[in-house]
Structure 1
Amino acid sequence: MTGANDTERHARAALTRIIEPGDTTGGRWLREHGPTTTLHRLTTPGPPLPGVTPKRWAGLRARAAHTNPDHDLATAHHAGARFLCPGDQEWPTQLDDLGDARPTGLWVRGTPDLRTWALHSVAVVGARACTEYGAHTAARITAQLAEEGWVVVSGGAYGIDAAAHRGTLAVHGATIAVLAGGIDHAYPRGHTHLLQRIAEQGLLIAELPPGDHPTASRFIQRNRVIAALTRGTLVIEAAHRSGALATARTAQRLGRHTMGTPGPLTSAQSAGVHELLRGEATLVTDADDVIELVGTIGTLAPRREGPLLPRDTLPPTTSDVLNALPAHGTAHPHDIARHARTTPDDAIAHLYELHSLGFVERNGDTWQLARHHPPHPATPAPQP
């Protein structure tokens, strides 16, 4: 894979300060003209590139006049970050699925290889104002995913995002935070320590250059990167208008798996997830369910069954005789045989077997259920 040369890298670094994340018009310019020509057109007098109004072109030109890619690259280097371009060996090619909305470049902080990590990653997102149930669920599932070798990707925000990152870090797992601002400033400020831990143990990535600040639209556009980067998106708690649902819908458009964990029917914070589950999303309850979807072919979640009861170990014919006894009182072997659809001799044989296992008691010529069933799964006696 051929990476960008120095001229293209500087041009893309400059363009991250000019073109907003997710701007498909700018993405089309990059595809048709390349980063160097696009930057030249934005920084020199001449007619505007197609697809923008004169007012918007003037705004882009004003931004372009204040770019200093050498300074941004030096600032990133000082912060321990690097700048990736499409075509670089470390570039996650699944981001190319975004088409003209593909990031111009990515500012990355942390030592692991982004491309390698992204190939085995799952997005976990949800409500900022999450409930204790949601935070616990996110931490539990992400810890399980991390222990199975999966990389957890989220947005570094309050609520479910934070719980997902912390659940992963708690088991020394791998996690990526996709930021809506510059790579060198923590946002939200309350997550300064958390984001520092992620940078040390995992990766921080951003489309915006150092020093740039998040806005409402940038948070929305950040979600498309989370969806495209990963093999699937899990939503844990989201109201009807939650940005986490936008991440899931982008994942669906890109052909990625979408998943949700159910919450209380009365919880507004789970209403959006429930609506998602009524559509194409899959209900999951733990990491095994998630891995069955996003993992390799043949990776199945373990079969879930209730506790093994003593009567579950009985052969069918013996169980039929046991079920033929009344819940209260006694019954004659002839009546038991009739209800069990067998002969009286067979019924008596099975009754003695059940007596030896502690299921029934004899009362003269009649039989009744034992007052106390066996406390542990029983091993049936051999048939007489």
Structure 2
Amino acid sequence: MTAVSDSERLARAALTRVIEPGDETGGRWLRELGAVALADRLTSGGDALPGVGANRWAGLLSRAARARPKADLAAAGAAGARFVCPGDLEWPAQLDDLGDGRPIGLWVRGRPSLRIWALRSVAIVGARACTEYGAHMAALLGSQLAERGWVVVSGGAYGVDGAAHRGALGASGATVAVLACGVDSPYPRGHTELITRIAEQGLVIGELPPGDHPTPRRFVLRNRVIAALTRGTVVVEAAHRSGALSTARIAQRLGRFTMGVPGQATSSLSAGVHDLLRGESVLVTDAAEVVELVGDMGELAPPRPGTTRPRDLLAPALAQVLDALPARGAAAPDDIARSAVTTPDDAVARLYELRSLGFVERHGDGWQLTRQKDRGANPARRTP
């Protein structure tokens, strides 16, 4: 079942050839007139709509005259893709948060439902020219999130994006590549095999019709889809002018979670991430910490193993007596009492309590640390 008529789907497919992704002026026309009326207005060559000059309107009319939506839908079908519109059951409602800048529709390649997958998804983005550390962390997060049942969303680019996708695929998990070109023409070319595999195991999506090519601006605008589609965005390595930072900033404006993986303080590729962490973003180092933030209530990261030793839990008076024992050998109660700044009777009472806890042993008239507790003794003390 779908609420989208064939005429509206055809009109929206045509408009993806005419209006650039993220064009809020075109989005306003679409909201006010509807897809069919807007497509008719553009193909009929009437007077310019509000918000554009004569030159831009002429360019839009030229694009509309060359649009062949039926051919685009057929080409998508031949590539195993479909065109999903607002109003379809598969449409992810969170994209509507983009307002007039939301996609006109999405070309989707792959079998799963985009709406269902997007409900539990996290974006992992970062530098194209990343370091080995950045690639390792992106792949690790991708695999860990996939193992926890989360969908990993990224842009299919070199560097962090590709590592995140591969991490999810390697864990036999779910991943979505959001492209800045036609889903039948993967870019970068060096990732053709990777993107093909993503389409087989996951989803490849984009706003541009079949065969369309990427441009620098389209890459930037693609980032808003990644940010809006997911519950949160993790940035792994990003310089000050990295496109990954734009994804995080859009996510913040949309009320999504933003996270950053810390790097070397002297690395320029970590500078952008560290700026995020100085603001509203949260530092994360593994998937458990990501899920604690974006997951459901109760999905907490496990407590981290620390350096707490049993002796650290002792009451101060007991710890003071324990510290008074030499690292090796036995000591008399009077000597222990002097070192602990207490009375002999109090020292003996504390020593018996420590013995019940397994910290000390009595040997004749003296007391010494038990062997398993020797490591907790004060190494500076010696037998008097």
Query: TM-score, length-normalised on structure 1?
Result: 0.91
Task: Please give the alpha-carbon distance, in whole angstroms, between the structure 1 residues aligned to 2:159 and 2:223.
Answer: 15
Alpha-carbon distance, 1:216 to partner: 0.2
Q: Deviations over 1:225-274 (max 9, x none)?
A: 00000000000000000000000000000000000010000111000000
The runs of 5 or more residues in structure 1 that have no matched partner are: 377-384
Give the counterpart letter for 1:46 in structure 2.
G
Give the counterpart letter for 2:115 in structure 1.
R
Alpha-carbon distance, 1:303 to partner: 1.6
* Residue equivalent to 2:242: 242
* Residue equivalent to 1:37: 37
* Residue equivalent to 2:379: none
* Residue equivalent to 1:214: 214
Give the stretch that moved more between structures: 212-221 or 39-48. Answer: 39-48
Alpha-carbon distance, 1:334 to partner: 4.0
Give the stretch that moved more between structures: 188-197 or 315-324. Answer: 315-324
Q: Does 1:156 align with 2:151?
A: no
Change (3 A) 1:80 1:310: same
* Residue equivalent to 1:85: 85
Task: Please give the alpha-carbon distance, in whole angstroms, between the structure 1 residues aligned to 2:6 and 2:341.
Answer: 86
Secondary structure (helix, strand or coil) at the match of 2:297 reads coil
* Residue equivalent to 1:135: 135
Task: Please give the alpha-carbon distance, in whole angstroms, between the structure 1 residues aligned to 2:145 and 2:128.
Answer: 21
Give the counterpart letter for 1:311 in structure 2.
R
Task: Please give the alpha-carbon distance, in whole angstroms, between the structure 2 residues aligned to 1:195 and 1:302.
Answer: 34
Give the stretch that moved more between structures: 302-311 or 238-247. Answer: 302-311
CA contact (8 A) 1:355 1:361 kept: yes
The runs of 5 or more residues in structure 2 that have no matched partner are: 377-384
Query: TM-score, length-normalised on structure 2?
Result: 0.91
Give the counterpart letter for 1:158 in structure 2.
Y
Give the counterpart letter for 1:49 in structure 2.
L
CA contact (8 A) 1:310 1:375 kept: no
Secondary structure (helix, strand or coil) at the match of 1:17 reads helix
Change (3 A) 1:21 1:372: same
Q: Deviations over 1:157-177 (max 9, x none)?
A: 000000100000001000000
Alpha-carbon distance, 1:309 to partner: 3.5
Secondary structure (helix, strand or coil) at the match of 2:299 reads coil
Q: Deviations over 1:73-121 (max 9, x none)?
A: 0000000000000010000000000000000000000000000000000
Secondary structure (helix, strand or coil) at the match of 1:65 reads helix
Change (3 A) 1:322 1:218: same
* Residue equivalent to 1:197: 197
Secondary structure (helix, strand or coil) at the match of 1:241 reads coil
Secondary structure (helix, strand or coil) at the match of 2:208 reads coil
CA contact (8 A) 2:327 2:374 kept: no
**Alignment of structure 1 residues 63-82 onto 2, 5 Å:** 63-82=63-82
Q: Deviations over 1:107-156 (max 9, x none)?
A: 00000000000000000000000000011111111111111100000000
**Alignment of structure 1 residues 7-22 onto 2, 5 Å:** 7-22=7-22
**Alignment of structure 1 residues 102-113 onto 2, 5 Å:** 102-113=102-113
Identical amino acids, percent of aligned pairs:
69
Task: Please give the alpha-carbon distance, in whole angstroms, between the structure 2 residues aligned to 1:345 and 1:136.
Answer: 59
Give the stretch that moved more between structures: 337-346 or 250-259. Answer: 337-346
Q: Does 1:24 align with 2:24?
A: yes
Q: Does 1:262 align with 2:281?
A: no
**Alignment of structure 1 residues 45-60 onto 2, 5 Å:** 45-60=45-60
Task: Please give the alpha-carbon distance, in whole angstroms, between the structure 2 residues aligned to 1:359 and 1:165.
Answer: 51
CA contact (8 A) 1:175 1:198 kept: yes
Task: Please give the alpha-carbon distance, in whole angstroms, between the structure 1 residues aligned to 2:342 and 2:3.
Answer: 79
* Residue equivalent to 1:61: 61
CA contact (8 A) 1:321 1:350 kept: yes
Change (3 A) 1:259 1:358: same
Task: Please give the alpha-carbon distance, in whole angstroms, between the structure 1 residues aligned to 2:341 and 2:49.
Answer: 86
Task: Please give the alpha-carbon distance, in whole angstroms, between the structure 2 residues aligned to 1:311 and 1:286.
Answer: 30
* Residue equivalent to 1:175: 175
* Residue equivalent to 2:380: none
CA contact (8 A) 2:45 2:61 kept: no
CA contact (8 A) 1:3 1:85 kept: no
